[in-house]
Amino acid sequence: MRIRSSVVALIAVFGALTAGSAYVVGTLPEQAEAREMESDAALVSKAAEPVVLEPDYGFLDDYPGGQRIYGVMTADGEDDEIAEFVAAAERAPNLIGVTVGWAQDGYSPWYTERLALKGAMPMISWEPWDAAEESDVDRLRSEQPDFALSKILDGDFDDYIDEWADGIAEWGEPVMIRFAHEMNGYWYPWADGRNGNEPGSYAATWRYVHDRFDAAGADNAIWVWSPNVAYTASTPLPGLYPGDDYVDWVGVVGYFGHFSEPPSSQPGFEGIFDPTLDRLDDITDKPVLVTETGAGPYGPLKAAWITDALEAFATDERVGGFVWFNVNKEFDWRINSSAESLEAFVEAVDNPAFADAVDPYAKAEAAAKAEAGVGAGAQAGAEGVKQP
């Protein structure tokens, strides 16, 4: 499913909503300076020089720390959209997804550091096409010859790929790269058999791009291979899989929706995901994450599906969590499309199986306050935060 990318560089940063973890607005350098000033006025009064607090991204190294992933994707990944979701869900996500179209977006810390500062794993849906030229005619959406896989394999996009690989390597912290997702469908120009692509070219392109990241030293990239749930005419998954050496996570996309008329019943988690999970089990043992999911505005059916699906995302051994597509697009997939769906989501996501978002400044603040003798006990150990 497509989210239009924003062409932005560094924008407002939002942090935790809990006490001692105030929101800070500004570019990344401005944010760091503001955080120093607001952490505790007593620190400044007890020190000859301003105290510099550096964020600790160690939580990304062990992500998600033996718990389940609870993530969100919004329309444009903007801070106000994410804040609106957090306020509605009453819990901050531990993964935030943003979308990048190759024709529009070069690398920027907006896609990595900004999201990690929220205490979440960044996940970049990296799409090799021109999103601005997306056709409104469904069968023509995949027709973008300038982005045929052969052009990537011929090196036409090497400079662009290397810019991202160098940027990710310089960032140095773990970040999920969901490259060219839903490849088993027909609606994107990177699909095998569409847009002039030869069978087998998708897996070859994946390996080609991955190898360039390796050459740049971007071994902090976590590669997420993300097909759509299988359907009758979808491309078989085995021929699309680039191999275990090139994949870290498997991401599955599946929704309760896309009906011209409201359905009379809802299929539950098993009805949507079981057939595909069974096929994936024959391909790889890599961990599985539901990288996009949602439910259409079907009243009580949506609320019931949310309850059922989130229980599975928290307990089913075959999946490690989920990312909610919180966008009003073809349908209103947002959690607050109705009062009953919002109530169901808030209750379901308040589950200790899901990992908390993290305040990346907590350790630095605790250390600084301990050194200054200011309220150190209140801050010690404050690493995980349930927001707000």
CA distance linking residue 324 with residue 295, whole number of Å: 9
40 occurs within a structural domain: no
Does residue 388 lie in a domain region? Answer: no
Q: How much is the pLDDT for 374?
A: 66
> Is 179 part of any domain?
yes
Report the domain count for the chain: 1
Residue 207: which H helix or E strand, with range?
Answer: helix 201-215
Residue 11 in domain: no
How would you label 292-315 residue by residue, b for 16+ Cβ within 10 Å and e otherwise?
Answer: bbbbbbbeebbbbbbbbbbebbbe
- Has residue 289 been placed in a domain? yes
Instruction: Determine the Cα angle at 149 with ends 138 and 111, to 5°.
Output: 80
Residue that has been written with the tokens 């991202």 in this structure: 164
- What are the pLDDT tens digits along the chain (388 aa)? 544 333 333 333 333 333 333 333 344 445 545 555 555 554 445 455 666 789 999 999 999 999 999 999 999 999 999 999 999 999 999 999 999 999 987 999 999 999 999 999 999 999 999 999 999 888 899 999 999 999 999 999 999 999 999 999 999 999 999 999 999 999 999 999 999 999 999 999 999 999 999 999 999 999 999 999 999 999 999 999 999 999 999 999 999 998 778 888 999 999 999 999 999 999 999 999 999 999 999 999 999 999 999 999 999 999 999 999 999 998 999 999 999 999 999 999 999 999 999 999 998 888 888 887 765 444 444 445 454 4
**Can you tell me the distance from the alpha carbon of 276 to that of 168, in angstroms, rounded to the nearest whole number?**
31
pLDDT score of 379 = 44
In a domain, 192, yes or no: yes
Show the tokens assigned to 323. 């990312």
Query: Distance (Å, rounded) from C-alpha 5 to C-alpha 104?
Result: 8
Q: What is the pTM of this model?
A: 0.86
DSSP string, 257-311: ---SS--SS--HHHHHHHHHHHHHHTT--S-EEEEEE-B-S-THHHHHHHHHHHH
Residue 71, in any domain of the structure: yes
Bridge partners, 289 (sequence order) = 251
Residue 116 in domain? yes
Measured at the CA of 241, the angle between CA 200 and CA 314, to 5 degrees, comes to 150
We report the CATH number of the domain holding residue 204 as 3.20.20.80
pLDDT computed for residue 22 by the predictor: 32
* Closest of 129, 151, 154, 149 to residue 140, by C-alpha: 129
pLDDT confidence of residue 139: 84
Task: Identify the domain containing residue 212 by its residue range.
Answer: 61-356
- DSSP H helical segments within 333-388, as ranges? 339-349, 362-372, 376-379
Q: What is the pLDDT of residue 258?
A: 80
Alpha-carbon distance of 42 to 355, in angstroms, equals 32
Cα–Cα distance for residue pair 110/78, rounded to 1 Å: 10
Degrees, nearest 5: CA angle 305-69-244: 110
Q: Name the 3-class secondary structure at 156.
A: coil
